[in-house]
Amino acid sequence: MKEQVPDASMAVKGEKVKDRGLWRKFFHLIRLAKIPYIGLAIYFLISLSTVYVAVRLPQVESDVFTGNASVENIAWVIAVELASSLVAVVMIASMGIIGGRIDRNFRNAIWQKILRLEPKYFDGVSANSLLSRMTDDAESMKDFIMLILSEITGITTTVATITAMSTMNKGLAVIMVIFIPVYIFFGFLVGRIKMRVGNNVKYKMAGLTNYLSGQLARITVIKAFNREAYEQKRGEEAIRDYYIAQRREQVADFLQYTIASVIHMVPDVILLLAGVYMLERNALTPAGWIVFYAYANQLFTFFSDKISLWINVKTYQGHMNRLSELFSAPEEGIKAYIQEEVSSGDIVFDGVSFSYGDQAIFTDASFTFPKNAFTAIFGPSGTGKTTILKLIERIYEPQEGRILQNGHDIRDYKLESWRKKFSYVKQDTPMISGTIRDNVLYGVDEEVSDEQIMEAAREVRAEGFIMECPGGLDYEVGQFGDKLSGGQRQKLSILRAFLQKREYILLDEPTASLDVVSVREVMESIRELIGKRTIILVAHDDKLIRDASHIIVVEDDARVYEGTAQEVGRVSGFFRDIMHAGGKEDMA
Amino acid sequence: MTKKKEKMFGGKESSWKPLLHIYKTVQIPWALIILVVLLSFGSQWVSVQLVEYTSKIDTGTMTAGSFMVGYVVFSLISILIENGYDLANTLGNAKMARNVRKKLWGKMLRLPVSTYEKEEPQRLVSRITKDATFAYGALTSVIQVVSVVYGLVIAMIPVVKIFGAYAWIVAVIVPVLVVCSLAAGKIQYRLDRMINGAYSKMTNFYSERLPNITYIKTNNMEREEYEKGLKISDEKYRADILYKILFALQLPLQSLANYIGLVFLLITASAMVRDGRITPVQMKELMLYFNIVMADATLFLGIWMNVKASHGGCEKIGEINAAKEEDSQGTGLVSGQEDIVFDHVSYGYTEDKLVLSDASFTIPKGKITAIVGENGSGKSTITRLLERFDEPASGEIRIGAQSLSELDLGRWRQQLGYVFQGNQMIQGTVRDNLTYGVMGDYSDEELTRAAEDAQAYAFIMEKEEQFETPLQVFDTEFSGGQLQRLAIARAFMKNPDYLIMDEATNGVDLMKEVEIISCMKEKMKDKTVVLISHNMDLVKDMDHIVVIKDGCVEAEGTPEEVSKASATYREFLGKAAS
């Protein structure tokens, strides 16, 4: 299992959120939760019985403790105690079911949204922060909704209690009510301090986790450079920082709880003195006092809880803001499409400009990928060759100009039908936990037999290692495919592209990790597809492009040339240099 | 690479050794623990003192004057003691966790690399962050036994004074309490395991897909992945609600003893009140004392739970703590001017499958040796053996006349430069990274020079912050080829006696590769270089070539010699040229 690394930004940025729009966002998000209203209604009906018990129990108990320990009274107390524990069981269980449902619904809604987002959304976002959207944020939204639900019950109880108190003894009730604002004020004050101290702890923890997970991923580098002692010192610093933050929080907790308890003593003592005074003058019966004091304690408890509520609301707000930002991000493929069916044809870049932020990749570039031909995109590393593939796949959209296929702007095609035309072999080849078979059949629509897989495997020289794996095609590749080597993953990725049998094959440096023999065989298999499929290959190795009938060179200065090897050799300095360095002057 | 990855840590019925080993080797915050125990005595004492006051207040029989003063004083003492107890306890926990963390991190840095291949490194993060917090619980719990017993006794004495038969009630209740708590604990443990399992399954699913959304999209698998996600999510949901329902159902079990005691108490005590044998205030006192007794009894049972929690939680870290460190016994030193000789070296991840079998060859000093072979033929194993990340299963590697395994490990690695394929950057700035291997001072000219030689200077300077550009381990704004060049620049900065380049120029375009290699030749003049590459144009110009096939040495020698002796080499050359 890969441990989740909390993003450090989460802890820090959480506090910088604006208070405004909290409820608007809340109601927008709450629709996604598809709250089970019937379950909720039942829950509320049951919870009303707890309100009744909270008001009634002190009355009976006061009767008992002022001398009327009658069998009926005792029986009532016992019955109520048992009944409330049963009610608690039902309430906790139903709360759990409702909460679990809300949690699941949020999670599913987020997952769906993430799958629909425009791919460029993921450029600036780390996978870890997405994971915390799926887990922490979803759960926190559930907690928030559940908190509001339980607060509603709490408030009902409180109102009922205060009402009961004021009918019993106005004077004492007034003393109680006067202190409520003091409690709330203190709560907000402490809440703010606590949040700051608490955030610091989270921040330091995130820092420690980040440091550890980064360093553990590079343990070979640390060892190769003999820097264990240095890293130990750095690690100890992060550990100490976290400890200091923790210590500060714990001292703050101590002060907060101590002060809160001492503050609580004030109304308590005033109430007691007033009680003694009234009892002595018979303005209050002992029974009346017992009930009243029990109510007062209920109220104190209710309001002292509000300190933590304030902190929680702030945290929820952070989670909520991140979620609503996610949900307002644009999705792809929602624009109306004109063409459902995609025919085959040349792909033409017509005056296309594209830039990442300020960095222009190419401006007003025009070139063509002829149908059923083998086109190579060639150029120094870092010039945006991969970007061309991404533009074709509609992972990015050009900022200016059009990409045409068969005369249609590719944006006019239904996105799904369009992508179905392509197989894409990436430079870094992702795998997902599962068997080799699962992975090579990923995105393959038709039924493929094991024999067919192995036949294709032979072409990419993958047969040997598949056979050697225990279980062959049933071999589990591990998380991210990390039980396979880079070269093996790359071969499987090419194998998958062959099995997908799609019309266009996009290859992004497909042989970077392969040995010469494997490269040869893979390229041979690719060559066999010339004339049957449209092949587009990105490479900076001159040997791969020898079979290409059409070459596109992207230069360092963002200039783009196209044509046959001879044609581009005439205009592109880079191309000439490479061919020269590779000792292949005869080609030009 | 189908090596079997057996977990080094875990499995097997656990012993207490790991936990005890932690207590033996990690500094324990005794002062805080003693304070916790003292405060817990105080807390027991004050809660018994308060009963007299609370029972009067709760029955409307309190008075002003000294009663009120006593109430306020004891309340304040109670507040201080209770909160002080919490503070000391949390501080003690944090301090203990800090000490464990420091110890563990130092240990982890010195474990053999092979350990990290058996244990997923990212899992070790939570060993330090989370597991370390479990070490404290058992310590204080065990010591607190005394104060809990003290509390039980001082709460029982007044009860028995008022109501002699009550001792019998307690005698009946305690076994019930023990049985119920143990049962509840068992259920709770199962529930936790179930929910953790469902959670980690779900997290695994998402965490594998979230970095690969584009991959999902390009394969048109959105719908399938959505469906799969729903299924996993539903599993978690079902585990969630099952957990909550079972959790709710076992609650009465937990408080069963409490209820039995309470009902018994209410019935008998109320009968005594009706008979006039005790006053209602005394009945209230009885109930309050009963609460203290029950609370202490629960605490008492909790001690075992806490000890178990420490035991379970520290199992893995205890094993890590006790695991064997990398061998640092060697004291041998080499000048850096020696041949490296592999003498009948075998290595395998499992017994029956050797990655390297009986390999003998020489890496001559002051020359560049290229190692050639197919994917998976065992080339990288050679570099790992040289770094001493792994030790040979049989045979010997010699540096000059000395055995590699007898060298001072730290000094040897200091003499090596190692660049392999993939992101090798550590957290920090570009400068931090490039100077990672530099032990003394360096000048900015040297830094610039190394970056230039590795063809990295231009793209570093293009960044806004240049050499101060931060690098991350998992997400980075540099391309694969650029990262590769940074790693080469770093090796150049280190200025090693022996340089190993294991497909170090993958992802770097041909022009730059040629530049890098010629700068490397210049820099490493008279020093020893091991180069692993699939680029035959480079390989064929090297001084010495070793051809590896299926873990065996097929040939070694000059390019001419090798091309005569090795069919594999000829095939490689042929395929590359055609």
- Which residues does B408 contact at the CB level (< 8 Å), separation at least 6? B328, B330, B331, B332, B333
Q: Which residues of A touch B284 (CB under 8 A)?
A: 65
Count of beta carbons in the 10 Å neighbourhood of residue B475: 14
Which two structure tokens, joined as six digits, stand for A119?
A: 């791919």
Which positions 121-150 of A are in contact with B (Cβ < 8 Å)?
122, 126-128, 130-131, 134-135
End-to-end CA distance of chain A: 52
pLDDT higher than 70, residue B509? yes
pLDDT attached to residue B73: 94
Give the up-direction half-sphere exposure of residue A576: CA atoms within 13 A in the CB hemisphere. Answer: 7
Q: Do B280 and A487 touch (CB under 8 A)?
A: no
Best mutation target, A66, A134, A257, to test chain B (most B CBs within 10 A): A134
Domains of chain B: 17-322 (1.20.1560.10), 340-577 (3.40.50.300)
Q: pLDDT tens for residues B513-560? A: 878 888 888 888 888 889 888 878 788 888 888 888 888 888 888 888
- Nearest residue in chain A measured CA to CA from B263: A78
- Cβ of A254 within 8 Å of Cβ of B87? The answer is yes
Q: Is A181 within 8 Å of chain B by CB?
A: no
Q: Quick check: helix, strand or coil at residue B444?
A: helix
Residues of A in contact with B225 (CB under 8 A): 115
Per-residue pLDDT at B1? 33
Q: Taking CB atoms and an 8 Å limit, are A219 and B109 in contact across chains?
A: yes
Q: Is A41 left (phi over 0), alpha (psi -120 to 50) or beta?
A: alpha
Q: Among partner residues A226, A236, A427, which is closest to B414 by beta-carbon distance?
A: A226
Q: How far is B105 from chain A (nearest CA, A)?
A: 7
Average pLDDT over residues B381-393: 85
What is the distance in angstroms between the Cα of B479 and the nearest Cα belonging to chain A?
A: 7
From chain A, pick out residues whose CB is under 8 angstroms from the CB of B230: 108, 111
Minimal Cα distance from A247: which residue of B?
Answer: B91
Long-range contacts of B26-34 (CB under 8 A, 24+ apart): B26/B96, B26/B99, B26/B100, B26/B103, B26/B135, B26/B321, B27/B99, B28/B96, B28/B99, B28/B139, B29/B91, B29/B92, B29/B95, B29/B96, B29/B99, B32/B88, B32/B91, B32/B92, B32/B95, B33/B92, B33/B139, B33/B140, B33/B143
Residue A326 and residue A363 in contact, taking contact as beta carbons nearer than 8 Å: no
In this structure, how many other beta carbons lie within 10 angstroms of the beta carbon of residue A452?
A: 12
- Optimal mutation site among A91, A204, A239, interface B, most CBs of chain B within 10 A: A239
Residues in chain B with CB shorter than 8 Å from the CB of A217 are 121-122, 473-474
A579: Cα within 13 Å, side-chain hemisphere: 19
Chain B: closest CA distance from residue A336 (Å): 19
Q: Which residue of B has its CA nearest to A93?
A: B245
Q: Which of B234, B262, B270 sits opposite A69 (nearest CB)?
A: B270
The answer to whether the CB atoms of A69 and B273 lie below 8 A apart is yes
Best of B204, B218, B505 to disrupt the A interface (most A CBs within 10 Å) is B218
Is residue B345 over pLDDT 60? yes
Contact, B103 vs B26, CB < 8 A? yes
Closest CB from A69, A484, A519 relative to B280: A69
CA distance B569 to chain A (A): 10
Assess A59–B contact: CB distance below 8 Å, yes or no: no
pLDDT tens digits for range B408-461: 888 888 888 888 877 778 878 888 888 888 877 888 888 888 888 888 888 888
CA distance B559 to chain A (A): 17
> Among candidates A524, A516, A429, A494, which has minimal Cα distance to B377?
A516
The residues pairing with A560 across neighbouring beta strands, listed in sequence order, are A554
Q: Nearest C-alpha of chain A: how many angstroms from B43?
A: 15
Map residue B502 onto helix, strand or coil. Answer: strand
pLDDT tens digit string along B110-132? 888 777 766 666 677 778 888 88
CB-based contact A254 B203, cutoff 8 Å: no
- List of chain B residues whose C-beta atoms are within 8 Å of the C-beta of residue A85: 251-252, 255, 259
Question: B217, B221, B566: best mutation site toward chain A, by most A Cβ within 10 Å?
Answer: B217
Here the tokens at position B442 are 């360096």
- B427 with A117: Cβ contact below 8 A: no
B152 to chain A, closest Cα gap in Å: 25
Residue A533 identity: R
One-letter-per-residue 3-state SS of B266-277: HHHHHHHHHHCC
How would you write the pLDDT of chain A (588 residues) with one tens digit per residue?
Answer: 333 333 333 333 333 444 556 677 778 888 887 888 888 888 888 888 888 888 888 888 888 887 777 888 888 888 888 888 888 888 888 888 898 999 899 889 988 888 888 887 877 676 677 887 888 888 888 888 888 888 888 888 888 888 887 777 777 778 777 877 877 777 777 777 777 787 788 888 888 887 887 788 778 788 888 888 888 898 899 899 999 998 998 998 898 888 888 888 888 888 888 888 888 888 888 888 888 888 888 887 777 766 667 667 777 777 888 888 888 888 887 677 777 777 788 889 998 888 876 677 788 888 889 988 889 888 877 677 888 888 898 888 888 899 988 888 888 888 888 888 888 888 777 778 888 888 888 888 888 888 889 988 888 888 888 888 888 888 888 777 777 777 788 888 888 888 888 889 998 888 777 777 778 888 888 888 888 888 899 887 777 777 888 988 888 777 788 888 888 888 887 777 777 655 443 433
Chain B residues in contact with A253 by the CB 8 A cut-off are 86-87, 90
Q: Which is nearest to A154 in space by CA: A40, A50, A295?
A: A50
Q: Pick from A104, A543, A582: which is nearest to B237 by CB?
A: A104
* Alpha carbon distance B402, A458 (integer Å): 46
Residue B86 predicted with pLDDT over 90: yes
Taking CB atoms and an 8 Å cutoff, what residues of chain A touch B101? Answer: 239
Give me the interface pTM, i.e. the ipTM.
0.83
CB contact, 8 Å: A216 with chain B?
yes
CB A53 within 8 A of CB A80: yes
pTM score: 0.78
Contacts of B71 in chain A (CB under 8 A): 269, 272
Q: Is B18 helix (H, G, I), strand (E, B) or coil?
A: helix
State the DSSP string of A362-425: EEEEEEEE-TTSEEEEE-STTSSHHHHHHHHTTSS--SEEEEEETTEEGGGB-HHHHHTTEEEE
Surface of A (530-559) touching B: CB under 8 A? 540-543
Q: Under a CB-based contact definition with an 8 Å cutoff, are residues A254 and B83 in contact?
A: yes
What's the confidence (pLDDT) of residue A4? Answer: 38
Q: Is residue B12 scored above 60 in pLDDT?
A: no
> Residue B9: its pLDDT value, please?
42
B475 — pLDDT class (breaks 50, 70, 90): low
The C-alpha atoms of residue B234 and residue B221 are separated, in whole angstroms, by: 20
Strands (E), A249-346: none
Contact A382 B266 (CB under 8 A): no
Label the pairing between strands B470-471 and B428-429: antiparallel
Determine the pLDDT at residue A116. Answer: 86
What is the pLDDT at residue A308? 65
Nearest Cα neighbor of B344 from B529, B553, B562 is B553
Q: At what angle do helices B30-58 and B280-313 cross, to 10 degrees?
A: 160
Is B63 in Cβ contact with A276 (below 8 Å)? yes
Residue B8: band (very low, low, confident or very high) from pLDDT cuts 50, 70, 90 = very low
Chain A, 384 to 413: residues with Cβ < 8 Å from chain B are 393, 395
Question: What's the one-letter identity of residue B421?
Answer: Q
Distance, in angstroms, between A4 CA and closest chain B CA?
8
**Band of residue B266 on the pLDDT scale cut at 50, 70, 90:** confident
- In the prediction, which pLDDT does B351 show? 60
Residue to mutate among A219, A248, A300, A386, with most B CBs inside 10 A, is A219
Which residue from B210, B514, B571 is facing A581, i.e. has the nearest CB?
A: B514
What pLDDT shows up at residue A1?
33
Touching check for A220 and chain B: CB below 8 Å? Answer: yes
What's the confidence (pLDDT) of residue A20?
Answer: 57
From chain A, pick out residues whose CB is under 8 angstroms from the CB of B481.
Answer: 381-382
pLDDT of the residue at A241: 92
The reply to whether residue A3 touches residue B240, judged by beta carbons under 8 angstroms, is no
Q: What is the sign of the dihedral through the CA atoms of A527, A533, A537 and A542?
A: positive
A12 touches chain B (CB under 8 A): no
pLDDT value for B93: 92
Cβ-defined contact of A273 to B243 (cutoff 8 Å): no
Whether the CB-CB separation of A157 and A56 falls below 8 Å is answered with no
- A:98-117 residues touching chain B, CB 8 A cutoff: 99-101, 103-104, 107-108, 111-112, 114-117
